[in-house]
Amino acid sequence: MVPVYNDFLCGINEFLFINIEGSLLCITVRIGDDMWRFLAFDCETGGLEPDRSLLTAYFIAYDENFNTLGDLDLKIKPDNDEPYIVDAGGLGVNKIDLVEHDKIAIPMKEAKRQLYDFLSAHKPEGKGKLIPVGQNINFDIGYLQQHVLSKKVWDNFVSYHPIDTAGIATVMKLLGLIPRSEKTRLTNLADIFNIPFTNAHDAKADTIVTVKVLRAMLKKLGGNINVD
């Protein structure tokens, strides 16, 4: 039996487990009639510095059984034909061809509207919020809050307790469920759980694989999760 560590019980019937550096490393459990909804996402940028352009972002909303409720695939360019801010290192990783990208990208102003509408459509009713899911998710959250929706607007829709697969992997190492020698990059985690992954650093592919990894992790941790 895998040990479970209660963090605290808050006022909206929510248990939190194993919180490290602000990230929820296992799962949020609600009791009563509150609705669970997850928001998985990934971003690809023009580099690691905060001022680099946000180029792509992909989002999937899931219900508590990981049934897909909807998705949003954003290809983004600066408003008013302003120049992209990128560096060779960033584009070398995600392989985005800016010439081809620009042909299909929408202005940032339109991306902001679409993301706002998407979050509005999928936020749980009542006091609940979308639970964010990702790999090294704080980087993506920071980029979205800087370039797309302000932190204040984002926090209206999205919980501030993210589920980060990289963090869960660290806990699984501590529990002896993953060899400590293994790296926690998404490609490595996909290999550990025998999940095919051929298009790393594509926002859509990364998001889909991250959710598959999460479901496999929860299954390994003893959860009643269908990993198919």
Question: What range does the domain containing 24 cover?
Answer: 6-220
Kindly state whether residue 227 falls inside one of the protein's structural domains.
no
Kindly state whether residue 107 falls inside one of the protein's structural domains.
yes
Kindly state whether residue 228 falls inside one of the protein's structural domains.
no
For residue range 155-211, what is the model confidence (pLDDT) as tens digits? 999 999 999 999 999 999 999 999 999 999 999 999 999 999 988 999 999 999 999
Kindly state whether residue 14 falls inside one of the protein's structural domains.
yes
Q: Which pTM was predicted?
A: 0.84
Kindly state whether residue 61 falls inside one of the protein's structural domains.
yes
CATH, residue 178: 3.30.420.10
Kindly state whether residue 225 falls inside one of the protein's structural domains.
no
| Coil/strand/helix, residue 80 | helix
Separation of alpha carbons 60 and 145, rounded Å? 18
Kindly state whether residue 93 falls inside one of the protein's structural domains.
yes
Separation of alpha carbons 170 and 124, rounded Å? 30
Separation of alpha carbons 143 and 203, rounded Å? 13
Q: What is the reported pLDDT for 127? A: 83
Separation of alpha carbons 6 and 120, rounded Å? 31
Domains: count for the chain: 1
